[in-house]
Amino acid sequence: MTLRKPGLVAATAVVLALTATACGGGGDSGSDGEKINIGIKFDQPGLGLKTQDGEYTGFDVDVAKYVAKELGYDEKDIVWKEAPSGERENMIANGDVKFIVATYSITDERKERVDFAGPYFLAHQDFLVRADDDSTWNKDELNTKELKLCSVTGSTSAQNVKNKFAQEADLQEYGGYSECLTGLENEAVDALTTDDSILAGYAAQKEHQGKFKLAGLSLSDESYGIGLKKGDTELQKQINDALAKMVEDGSWEKAADKHFGPADYDYEPAPEITEKS
């Protein structure tokens, strides 16, 4: 059937409106196969990793998939977005993603710009050192050592160690943990500092086994939350409900065992959900 000009204009307007809706950064309802953009890390083994064959794996990835499913999205509808530590708040505020699951520690400073659901995991800051390092690591003595430390720009670990434990350390901040790991292996730095969950994932990788070890420090409690747009209380509740269900039906523990078990990492039980509006 041939459309007259007024009808054609109206039809075009409808198509453009639908296209704009479908291309929205975060995505809306998944009931009709619409896409949802979710932020994760691409370089954290055991948590959020993009493999060489283009697959996405890790505990955070499994949590994100479970939450997306409870929101009505099939796995095929997920568009994974890399969420570097220093860009997470901007990605959420700009609508580039619906939510972020990326070892995202809940802090008061971050809550000024974004809201969180959860927490869904509790980690502790530690040091990763070379396996042949015979130093005695004690958090009360870190300032007595001439340390070259590495962490990632925008992470709470970098701020925490510099402000509280090793003010005199030479702290180098790189864009990604892989760069820190290379520096540690090449002896350009003495230790990589971040959450023990992240460090355990790196140490457990096949190519790294036997090269590194955790120092055994517990410098902080890091409660991982799912970051979302500030003021979106409906989404916050939906995600919290999904996380509670994941724990209740055993999926949380199954995912934790799958990804942390090979590293012999003694992870904490699922934490109580506290981020509610």
Residue 259 lies in a domain: yes
Q: What is the value of pTM for the model shown?
A: 0.78
The predicted pLDDT at position 30 comes to: 53
Residues 178, 97: one domain? no
The predicted pLDDT at position 27 comes to: 55
Residues 229, 256: one domain? yes
Residue 272 lies in a domain: no
Residues 215, 139: one domain? yes
CB 121 within 8 A of CB 224: yes
Residue 11 lies in a domain: no
The predicted pLDDT at position 26 comes to: 63
- Show the domain range for 48: 23-122+223-263
Residues 117, 232: one domain? yes
The predicted pLDDT at position 31 comes to: 52
The CA angle 88-92-94, to the nearest 5 degrees, is: 115
Residue ranges for the chain with pLDDT beneath 70 = 1-32
- 43: domain CATH number is 3.40.190.10
The values of phi and psi at residue 119, to 5°, are: -75, 165
The values of phi and psi at residue 188, to 5°, are: -75, -25
Number of structural domains the chain divides into:
2
Residue 203 lies in a domain: yes
Residue type at position 169: A
The predicted pLDDT at position 72 comes to: 97
264-275 as b/e: b if 16+ CB within 10 A: ebebeebbebeb
Radius of gyration of the chain (CA): 21
Look up tokens 């990632």; give the residue.
152
The predicted pLDDT at position 99 comes to: 98
Residues 90, 143: one domain? no
